[in-house]
Amino acid sequence: MRLFDVLGPVMIGPSSSHTAGAARIGRTARQLLGEAPMRADIGLYGSFATTGRGHGTDRAIVAGLLDMKPDDPRLPDSFALAEEAGMEFVIHSVELRAAHPNTAVLTLEGKRRKLSLTAASVGGGRIRVTSIDGVSADFGGDANTLIIHNEDTPGCIAEVTRALAARRINIASMQVFRSAPGGEAVMVLECDSHIPADLEPQLGAVSGIHKVTCLNVDDTP
């Protein structure tokens, strides 16, 4: 057990799962969208739905979408700040099967991109992303992460690993998910060092790759 697991995250309370984790879900979704969302549909499941309002889950997710970290003192005022920023949002309950009780389903729309994401707050402020744009996934956003949306065709994985090797970026873990053979796929590569932004357009130009997102944990708002 880590000291972090005992003490919990630095945050605006009251709950590491319902508040800090919720803010991380919102901020991770914004980072994956790659821009400020203009509209957000926020579905809450399980205890997020039943006790979320009292724990500030709704305000925490909206704060994350505004690029606030869990310890941002503005978090309780996120609804008003979202209105000032011109971000429209709706919050409602959803029903899911076999999902973690602290799960959020987000559908975001920015000026250039759209994103759907399902993620759970699993305790101590930690999260697990379980779905991106309808394709299963499984990562926590605790490491510098490269997310690739691509066609399930030969050569895409090789192009990605070759580009990382050329920059001497070591891959700590790699997962590949697909909707069906030959269908839509998602690669999730957790890396040991910062992923440069210029990797996005380079890989985005590769045939069969539709979307590239760098999620660097050392980025600041």
**Per-residue pLDDT tens over the stretch 146-169:** 999 999 999 999 999 999 999 999
Is residue 205 a contact partner of residue 212, using CB atoms and an 8 Å limit? no
> Which CATH architecture is the domain 3-132 placed in?
2-Layer Sandwich (3.30)
Confidence of residue 206 (pLDDT cuts 50, 70, 90): very high
The answer on pLDDT for 19 being more than 60 is: yes
Q: Do domains 3-132 and 144-215 have the same CATH topology?
A: no
Q: Which two tokens stand for residue 60?
A: 């925490």
Domain 144-215 fold: Alpha-Beta Plaits (3.30.70)
Element (H, E) at 22: helix 21-33
Q: Specify the pLDDT at position 16.
A: 53
Range 5-15 average pLDDT? 44
Element (H, E) at 176: strand 171-178
60 closest CA partner among 69, 50, 51: 69
Domain coordinates in residue numbering, the chain = 3-132, 144-215
Type of residue at 221: P
Phi-psi region of 22 (alpha: psi -120 to 50; beta: other; left: phi over 0): alpha
Is residue 195 a contact partner of residue 146, using CB atoms and an 8 Å limit? yes
Dump pLDDT digits (tens) for 81-130: 999 999 999 999 999 988 999 999 999 999 999 999 999 999 888 999 99
Type of residue at 97: R
pTM of structure: 0.84
